[in-house]
Copies of this chain bind each other. A is one copy, B any other.
Amino acid sequence: MAIVILPIPGMPSVRPGDDLSALIASAISMAKVGVKPGDVLVVCQKVVSKAEGRVVALGDVEPSALARSWAERHDKDPRLIELVFRESTRIVRMDHGNLIVETGPGWVCANAGIDQSNAVAEGLVTLLPVDPDASARRLRASLRGHLGVDLAVVITDTFGRPWREGQVEFALGVAGMAPVDDLRGTQDMNGHELGVTVIGVADEIACAAGLAMRKAAGIAAVLVRGCEIGPEPEEAGQRGGAAMIRPREHDLFR
């Protein structure tokens, strides 16, 4: 009952307007790994952002006064800081040169997830997808057309964490599976109610895929096979990567 993490090589460089599902389906076919119901396709955020045109030329950005003053004090590009502000709904920490913000549906991350590395071209940066759950749903529907199989889809990005060194993968968008495994009410082998009650399965799948994404350059898609995944919840609030964001009123660290 092994779980297998299959990198999908052979994806071309993705550009705004590309049909990402066609590129992924073609790479999967070339990789000759097959696809099976229950497989989870993990795709890195950057290719989703590029295909969706979430790309900005820094030269077009006019930095505000605050962006200029912060950038100057911390030796950053003021246009990049301005973009971080524009993508943020709230600044969580602005300290020691770090900008930890809330962005999108409520992710807390550094620099609003804006990244210069592996961008489309010099002077261009990628923003996070506007709604990665919608992106995951669309990708899933198109892949069903290409491959004839219902995969689950997880769109991931690499974020830092409080308390720990090292960044890891997180699930931003999720479609076709339960994002968390809710064990509340179940008992352990001694009949005790389980202390660990809700497992962040989609984040664990993201991390597992991350191990394969970094083994070789340019691996933007990974199949995770043999995982136990729950069916997509019917209630909208429990669906998708958005359901993995802890509401601010229950969060002790915002």
Residue positions of A touching B, CB distance < 8 A: 1-7, 93, 95-96, 98, 100, 107-108, 115-119, 121-122, 158, 161-170, 179-181, 188-190, 192-208, 210-212, 214-218, 226-228, 243-246, 250-254
Contact = CB atoms under 8 A, between A and B. Distances in A.
Contact of A253 (B122, B163, B207, B217): B163
B215 A158 contact: no
A253 B92 CA distance: 10
A62 B68 CA distance: 58
A164 B200 contact: yes
15 contacts: A2-B7, A3-B208, A3-B215, A4-B5, A117-B192, A117-B193, A117-B195, A121-B190, A161-B162, A163-B245, A163-B253, A164-B203, A166-B179, A166-B181, A169-B204
A165 to B, nearest CB: 5
B180 A166 contact: yes
Contacts of A194: 117
Given A192-B117, A207-B208, A214-B228, A165 B252 contact: no
Number of copies of this protein chain within its complex? 2
Contact of A204 (B1, B195, B201, B211): B211
B214 A168 contact: no
B198 A227 contact: no
B117 A188 contact: yes
A49 to B, nearest CB: 14
Nearest to A124: B190
A201 B166 CA distance: 8
Given A1-B7, A1-B216, A115-B195, A95 B165 contact: no
Nearest to A224: B211
Contact of A164 (B3, B188, B215, B244): B244
B117 A252 contact: no
Query: Closest 5 CB pairs between A and B?
Result: A166-B200, A207-B207, A162-B253, A208-B208, A204-B207
A164 B168 contact: no
Of the candidates A206, A208, A243, the one having the most CB atoms from chain B within 10 angstroms of its own CB is A208
A249 B179 CA distance: 34
Nearest to A205: B211
Given A93-B252, A246-B163, A5 B117 contact: no
A189 B218 contact: yes
